[in-house]
């Protein structure tokens, strides 16, 4: 009897152990504060870092979602993290709300705070950054923070290319499902009691900064502050890849995937 219970305990512990080994430590398209904290042993690891750069409306969010699901990247979007802070009513959220609503970049201290929060819980060595870094000082900070953790970094910088007119049209017209953040326009949600095709929700939201006037400000910031980030990486020997996003979502995703998987 005693032998039998010991035997059952050993089998149980073995099964639990196997399950833990099989649990992936990357979250699919999770935002910064949804990641689980598991320390990556310092100075002994490789990482793959993808940085998506592009005008508002260029499809950074859409393609991030695909890449996280398909290739298991852990996602960080500064804009999404800021929206969560604003929605939570935190002190930080209150401070950044007017700046966010004006389409300007939030101050360094706020961006640093959010980035540090992400790094303190980050458990993956496949990282996808959407809308971050958005200026050279942020790129420097990100690079030095990654260097403290990873020895070998494979960094891919992708510029999602789109005309300003198309980007503006997309941004001004888009709505998001409140639950799953699927994107719609008035054309794609044509009737009143429309349900989200992905999750069935009937609630949709419009971002406070998705209007023509603020779009113009965001473009100005993009040209003045964000495009120089490409030169920063070029100086480090990391050339950026230009992706034409006028193609279908599937075609663009395939192109991006090919670049990421190529060593």
Contacts to ligand AMP by CB under 6 A: 56, 78-79, 82, 100, 103-106, 111, 131-132, 134, 138, 209, 218
Nearer to ligand AMP, 111 or 243 (CB): 111
Distance separating alpha carbons of residues 17 and 227, to the nearest angstrom? 48
The answer to whether 219 touches 141, Cβ cutoff 8 Å, is no
Residue 175, strand partner residues: 184
User: Sign (positive/negative) of CA torsion 107, 166, 201, 77?
Assistant: negative
Nearer to ligand AMP, 9 or 185 (CB): 185
Nearest distance from C-beta of residue 213 to ligand AMP, angstroms: 13
Tokens of 83: 């929206």
Nearest distance from C-beta of residue 119 to ligand AMP, angstroms: 14
Nearest distance from C-beta of residue 55 to ligand AMP, angstroms: 9
Nearer to ligand AMP, 97 or 251 (CB): 97
Nearest distance from C-beta of residue 23 to ligand AMP, angstroms: 30
Q: In the bound complex, which residue of the shown chain has the CB atom lying closest to ligand AMP?
A: 79
Nearest distance from C-beta of residue 100 to ligand AMP, angstroms: 4
Nearer to ligand AMP, 36 or 88 (CB): 88
Nearer to ligand AMP, 100 or 118 (CB): 100
The SS3 assignment for 185 reads coil
Nearest distance from C-beta of residue 154 to ligand AMP, angstroms: 22
Nearest distance from C-beta of residue 184 to ligand AMP, angstroms: 17
Beta strands in 186-258 (DSSP E): 204-205, 240-244
Between the alpha carbon of residue 165 and those of residues 171, 173, 215, 226, 243, the distances in Å are 10, 12, 11, 19, 17
Distance separating alpha carbons of residues 84 and 32, to the nearest angstrom? 10
Question: Which residue do the tokens 């398209």 mark?
Answer: 29
Nearer to ligand AMP, 59 or 131 (CB): 131
Between the alpha carbon of residue 208 and those of residues 3, 21, 100, 145, 225, the distances in Å are 66, 43, 9, 31, 22
The answer to whether 175 touches 74, Cβ cutoff 8 Å, is no
Nearer to ligand AMP, 104 or 181 (CB): 104
């Amino acid at each position: 009897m005693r032998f039998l219970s010991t035997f059952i305990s050993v089998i149980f512990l073995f099964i639990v152990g196997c399950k833990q080994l099989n649990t992936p430590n990357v979250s699919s398209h999770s935002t910064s504060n949804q990641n689980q904290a598991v320390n990556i042993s310092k100075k002994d690891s490789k990482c793959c870092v993808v940085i998506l750069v592009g005008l508002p409306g260029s499809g950074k969010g859409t393609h991030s979602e695909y890449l996280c699901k398909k290739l298991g990247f852990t996602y960080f979007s500064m804009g999404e993290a800021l929206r969560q802070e604003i929605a939570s009513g935190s002190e930080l959220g209150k401070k950044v709300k007017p700046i966010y609503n004006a389409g300007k970049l939030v101050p360094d201290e706020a961006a640093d705070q959010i980035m540090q929060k992400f790094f303190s819980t980050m458990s993956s060595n496949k990282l996808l950054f959407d809308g971050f870094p958005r200026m050279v000082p942020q790129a420097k900070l990100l690079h030095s923070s990654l260097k403290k953790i990873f020895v070998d970094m494979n960094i891919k910088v992708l510029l999602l290319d789109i005309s300003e007119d198309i980007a503006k049209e997309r941004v001004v017209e888009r709505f998001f499902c409140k639950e799953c953040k699927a994107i719609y326009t008035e054309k794609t949600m044509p009737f009143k009691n429309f349900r989200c095709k992905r999750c069935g929700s009937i609630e949709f939201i419009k971002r406070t900064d998705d209007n023509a006037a603020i779009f113009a400000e965001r473009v100005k910031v993009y040209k003045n502050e964000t495009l120089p980030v490409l030169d920063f990486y070029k100086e480090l020997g990391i050339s950026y890849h230009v992706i034409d996003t006028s193609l279908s979502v599937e075609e663009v995703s395939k192109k991006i995937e090919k670049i990421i998987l190529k060593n």
